[in-house]
Amino acid sequence: MEFFSQLDYTMLIKAFIVGGIICIIGQILIDKTKLTPARILVIFVTTGVILGGLRNI
């Protein structure tokens, strides 16, 4: 029960919203372009790596 008392519920809500936005962007890319889910995944991972690298500068 100690685990639940230490949860930051605002961070959980923010993570849920950001994850939903990422899913919406992916679905729009699938519907509006001829990109395959695998290519979209590669785009998301590459973007994450670049943004993560820029964050550490």
Question: Tens of pLDDT along 7-57?
Answer: 888 988 999 999 999 999 999 999 999 999 999 999 999 999 999 999 887
Burial of 47 (0-12, 13-18, 19+ CB in 10 A): exposed
Report field, pTM of the whole predicted structure over 0.85: no
In angstroms, rounded to a whole number, what is the distance separating the alpha carbons of residues 35 and 43?
A: 10
Burial of 13 (0-12, 13-18, 19+ CB in 10 A): exposed
> Could you state, in order of their start, the residue ranges of all structural domains in the chain?
2-55
* pLDDT greater than 80 at residue 2: no
DSSP 16: H
Question: Tens of pLDDT along 43-52?
Answer: 999 999 999 9
